[in-house]
Amino acid sequence: MTLDRLTLVHALQDTATRLRIASIRMTTAAGSGHPTTCLSAADIVSTLFFSEMRFDPKHPRQVDNDRFVLSKGHAAPLLYAAWAEAGAVDPTELLALRQIGSDLEGHPTPRLPFVDVATGSLGQGLAAGVGMALNGRRIGSPHRTYVLMGDGEGMEGAVWEAATAAEFYRLDSLCAIIDVNGLGQSRATRWGHDLDVLGQQWRAFGWHAIAVDGHDIGALLDALAEARGTAGRPTILLARTFKGRGVSFVEGREGWHGVPFKPDQAVRAIAELEAQFVGGAGGAQTPAVRPPVVPEGRTDVIRPAALPPPSYRIGDEIATREAFGTALAKLGAADPRVVALDADVKNSTFSERFEKVCPDRFYQSFIAEQAMVGLAMGMASVGAIPFPSTFACFLTRAADFIRMAAISNLNVKLVGTHAGVSIGEDGPSQMGLEDLAMVRAEPNFTVLYPCDAVSAESLIAAAAAHVGPVYLRMSRPKTPVIYDAQEAFPIGGSKVLRASGGDVALVVAAGVTVFEALKAHDELKRQGVSIRVVDAYSVQPIDGATLRTAAAAAGGRVITVEDHFVNGGLGDAVAAALADAGVAVHRLAVTDIPRSGKAGQLMDRYGISAAHIVAAVQERVGKGA
Amino acid sequence: MTLDRLTLVHALQDTATRLRIASIRMTTAAGSGHPTTCLSAADIVSTLFFSEMRFDPKHPRQVDNDRFVLSKGHAAPLLYAAWAEAGAVDPTELLALRQIGSDLEGHPTPRLPFVDVATGSLGQGLAAGVGMALNGRRIGSPHRTYVLMGDGEGMEGAVWEAATAAEFYRLDSLCAIIDVNGLGQSRATRWGHDLDVLGQQWRAFGWHAIAVDGHDIGALLDALAEARGTAGRPTILLARTFKGRGVSFVEGREGWHGVPFKPDQAVRAIAELEAQFVGGAGGAQTPAVRPPVVPEGRTDVIRPAALPPPSYRIGDEIATREAFGTALAKLGAADPRVVALDADVKNSTFSERFEKVCPDRFYQSFIAEQAMVGLAMGMASVGAIPFPSTFACFLTRAADFIRMAAISNLNVKLVGTHAGVSIGEDGPSQMGLEDLAMVRAEPNFTVLYPCDAVSAESLIAAAAAHVGPVYLRMSRPKTPVIYDAQEAFPIGGSKVLRASGGDVALVVAAGVTVFEALKAHDELKRQGVSIRVVDAYSVQPIDGATLRTAAAAAGGRVITVEDHFVNGGLGDAVAAALADAGVAVHRLAVTDIPRSGKAGQLMDRYGISAAHIVAAVQERVGKGA
């Protein structure tokens, strides 16, 4: 080891010791948190931040910074301490950890400028890192991406989905590190310190795997250099560590997960750690952070071309899923930030139309929806506008990712096709019937549900222009175009499709049920009964003002009809919007587990066809049986 | 090859040909479906059903039958054809495939007696198979479990979670087969026919892996025998096949996924297949199914001992999660069907109390919630009463499994602890705030949410006794016992906790907010205002009758308060129950992405504390600011 190298190693060691001390102080002050988890990873983080990584601590969102994802989010104090050491956090703020007035939360969230994606639901960070690394390739940035995982989270299948995506895209700018401390929350991890098994698994998944002593700074430097020099495949460092490293009474012991030190324990622990400084009292100075490499000539200002209006004509029969594919391809051609992700259903969702136009911005996760959404989250966190799409029902596979996307308020545009029983013969496993409930639960999600090709295309563009998470729901059957190509569909709006002075009821529909409502309108009109019909294409936010006016005009009799289970969908959205006006809502929706059959048969059997709307109106106006 | 063996091989070949012909006839009659997927797997299914497996076709639910899970559910016609060949389905019924009057749905569901778990959401079958094999061990059955997967679905992370569980439990009674036909829906699979890579992956995950020609019956017989003879680890057969096998114009070709043959194509295809019979016209006779091995002396009648009433006293401070652990341990001691599953949080959920009492019926999935729930689904399908538990938020990782559990109407008892912002400092990633929306969307899920230890223990027992899927929501903070140990808590009930003749509003709460409602009641009483307070411990089904009566008695002013996001939870449940009575509901719930802080601070900040209830009541009775 040369003297310079030795100096560096000692400085990184002392920095690691400072990170350990800070992590203990923070968690003891908070009275909760995971100090021993921070202690196992401190040498890794010190080496990464203060020797390997290149970034600008004053501008953490600079896209050419190396990215760092703390997938093991419960080591948040370590992350905050490292950014404090780098100058991005006031050290006095650290002791406010977990307090309601501080953004230094129990697990990292993008409220902090140096956090791209929230972590704390284990097994998600790698997919985000893959997305960031792919985005670097898209924008021509030379940055590298680092993901620090725990060994316990390696059991999450999502990790292996992300691993496959990284291998498939030969992401040599990606380096993951597993802090193999051998201890989970409640017991030893499956593989403990057996790096051989872990190495076999990662190599079998196409990664370059390096086993390393995670407390040996020199070895970590060498391993990171080897990763940087590895072409054509991602690298994983399997870093053997000990939970609680550096504090004699907790190191390697079970029963200390998520347990902060009591004040007297903290004093003892810190005294032990201070004795470990190699550079005298307080330790050697932290090495300076290396600045990022910023390519010349990049312009960050994107001015997407305005899209031409849809080319559909009223009466054309086009499925909204097909209109989605067409619109996405147009959008991709106009805006280089727009990317598409598929889980091997591109020929059913029509996202293959985007692939034809923008093959370099089309990402295939194969049948791995968590990876698809997780990659999109990583991409969105660094400036892309990703549209991951699959059948609506299969987005539930990524529900926990979607939950975390909401926490991060990421700019992802989820598209679920084949919504509801109207898919027909494939049966319930292929029917998205709880997707609206899933996304509506997230308070910051926008939820859009077009009924025809014009509104579909318009809402795809609106989703791309909106900043924040969006869900778009598309249907399988062909439906007639009912809107003029010039019609505007603002988020939060709705369309009153039928209205007269004598309306006795309001029917609120969306997607395929709009056409059932229109049929019901015509049938009732033949009977001398007028109803108002609203297309609630913006399910969240819903157009409360229009609904309140329409409900009042229709005598307060409101019926909703939707191709979704009865709880959590359109009916609940309308009911909530009308609650403070004192209007209660009658909901037509699917209330049983459905079965196979033809679309029309199923819509009738499950109570959402025109006939059921007619009956509900009749019943409410006192003319029914 | 001996003569007998040759006869057997020929018979199995001809049976496979018949299965192919039937699959084509069925899908062509239906006008939809996946014939080429059936053709690739026909030799595997023929060999399994008519030589390897032991089962009683007249009693498909017999627990000692070998289990067969068609994880690649889109090959349903092949499954139906095999059971028809075995005598369990009337062959004339096959042509009703996918029609609304037939249980032969597009993808298999347990409406059919020979289907244990619904499939069609790829990557779930292996976890179910692991659960079935573990159940066999629990009940002392010698049966084996077979799971047939597609190669495309091997990309789902859930497969690797299940693979790890099978390895961890050394499940040598489990044999999985991958029909490696190399083609996904929209393109070639990631690994195509590269059995070497697949073999490395499965071996790295601890399985015995055998590469085999999936169209060579003799090789399949040998491989299955090798699997049967392999001790201490599960076996996977990597069966190299061709999609569309046996029909010249589709075999190995892209673009035929989910495409039925047109009638003229079907005629050509069937003519080609009929020419392949080795045993003359119509083919050699199908070998007889081998009967199961039924152990002597097993009694199927379980009479669980009645549980003693809870031992808590009014005023005791116990978290409902802790009461859950205690109750589960009692239940486990009383009923051998009760099993518990954990994802490495047993010391936070208190499921470790069950492990202490019933270590043999406690299953550890490590941090892999899809495996945890998937194993439970498999176990439930064959007679166990599984309680998988983790933090409520992390159950969203298994949302697609939960969706399929609903489709199968399985007897699983999901337990989510650490619900809501009342967990405090850990922050939003650890807060279950959309769990009620997720499970309430499923129309056959029972949803229970106790507020104290007595109701928690009682509802755990009620969940075990109820047949069907149940979700139980538990809280982190200690709460006082408010119910007498003898109190009964029927599913679908509620408790009126405060009522007087002059109530001006009804406050409906559940879980931690019950105590906020009680505090609000007392504060308002000091102001001379009376409110009615209901504990809606049964969120689904909800006690509509009591709510309607209470709402009427309280002047139609109804306020709900819950530690959950505003959409999809208790408020929507109450609103729906009161809608047809014309009562609209004002909902207090979490409407923003929350952050870290103390439980009390967060409940106040997010609008669900006693002070907010008081204000909402005052506003509604016209006394507020």
> pLDDT digits over B407-445, tens only?
999 999 999 999 999 999 999 999 999 999 999 999 999
How far is the alpha carbon of A290 from chain B, nearest alpha carbon, in Å? Answer: 32
Interval A236-256 mean pLDDT: 96
Mean per-residue pLDDT over chain A, rounded: 96
Q: Give dist(CA A605, CA A435) in Å, integer.
A: 21
CB contact under 8 A, B568 and A566: no
Which residues on B lie below 8 Å from A359 (Cβ)?
none
B348's tokens: 């936070």
Q: Per-residue pLDDT for A490 more than 70?
A: yes
For residues A163-189, average pLDDT: 97
Q: Stretch B128-145: mean pLDDT, rounded?
A: 97
pLDDT tier, A307 (very low <50, low <70, confident <90, very high otherwise):
confident
Grade residue B1 by pLDDT with cuts at 50, 70 and 90: low
Query: Is A425's CB within 8 Å of B33's CB?
Result: yes
ipTM above 0.90, yes or no: yes
Which 8-state DSSP code applies to residue A96? G
Q: How far apart are CA A523 and CA A432, in angstroms?
A: 29
pLDDT confidence of residue B300: 58
Please, which pLDDT band fits residue A194 given cuts at 50, 70 and 90? very high
User: What is the percent of chain B with per-residue pLDDT over 70, rounded to a whole number?
Assistant: 98
Q: What is the pTM of this model?
A: 0.98
**Taking 50 as the threshold, does the pLDDT of residue B625 lie above it?**
no
Tokens of A531: 């109803």
- Chain A residues whose CB is inside 8 A of the B608 CB are none
CB B341 within 8 A of CB B375: yes
B282 exposed, middle or buried (CB, 10 Å; 0-12, 13-18, 19+)? exposed
Residue A545 pLDDT > 50: yes
Supply the pLDDT for residue B78: 98
- Mean pLDDT (whole number) for B473-500: 98
Question: Is A369 assigned a catalytic role?
Answer: yes
**Which tokens hold the place of B334?**
């009383």
pLDDT of amino acid A624: 42
At residue A523, does pLDDT exceed 60? yes
Each residue's pLDDT tens digit, B187-245: 999 999 999 999 999 999 999 999 999 999 999 999 999 999 999 999 999 999 999 99
In the block, tokens 């229009």 appear at A546
With CA atoms as reference, report the closest residue to B185 among A394, A399, A376, A357. Answer: A394
Q: What b-and-e string marks burial along A310-333, b requiring 16 or more CB atoms within 10 Å of the CB?
A: bebeeebebbbbbbbbbbbbbbbe
Q: For residue B541, is the peptide bond before it cis, meaning its omega torsion is within 30 degrees of 0?
A: yes
Report pLDDT for B248.
Answer: 97
Q: Check: CB of residue B117 under 8 Å from CB of residue B381.
A: yes
pLDDT in tens, A589-621: 999 999 999 999 999 999 999 999 999 999 999
Q: Give the chain B residue whose CA is nearest to the CA of A104.
A: B596
A345 DSSP 8-state letter: -
Which chain B residues have a beta carbon less than 8 Å from that of A123?
Answer: 367
- Closest CA relative to residue A409, chosen from B428, B603, B397, B421: B428
Are residues B109 and A579, on separate chains, in Cβ contact within 8 Å?
A: no
Instruction: Check pLDDT > 60 for residue A350.
Output: yes
Mean pLDDT of the A232-240 span: 98
User: Does the pLDDT of residue B624 top 50, yes or no?
Assistant: no
pLDDT of residue B261: 97
Q: Do A580 and B585 touch (CB under 8 A)?
A: no
Question: What integer pLDDT is reported at residue A296 of this predicted model?
Answer: 87
Per-residue pLDDT tens for B500-554? 999 999 999 999 999 999 999 999 999 999 999 999 999 999 999 999 999 999 9
- State the pLDDT at residue B2: 72
pLDDT band of residue A625 (cuts 50, 70, 90) is very low
Q: How far is A327 from chain B (nearest CA, A)?
A: 20
Interchain pair B109, A428: CB under 8 A: yes
Interatomic CA distance for residues A137 and A170, integer angstroms: 11
Name the catalytic one among A52, A85, A369, A442.
Answer: A369
**pLDDT tens by residue, B366-404:** 999 999 999 999 999 999 999 999 999 999 999 999 999
Tokens 């020099």 locate to A229
- Euclidean distance between CA atoms B362 and A202, whole angstroms: 29
Which among A153, A403, A421, A548 is the top mutation candidate for probing chain B, defined by the most B β-carbons within 10 Å of its own β-carbon? A403
- Condensed to tens digits (0 to 9), the pLDDT of residues B40-84 reads 999 999 999 999 999 999 999 999 999 999 999 999 999 999 999
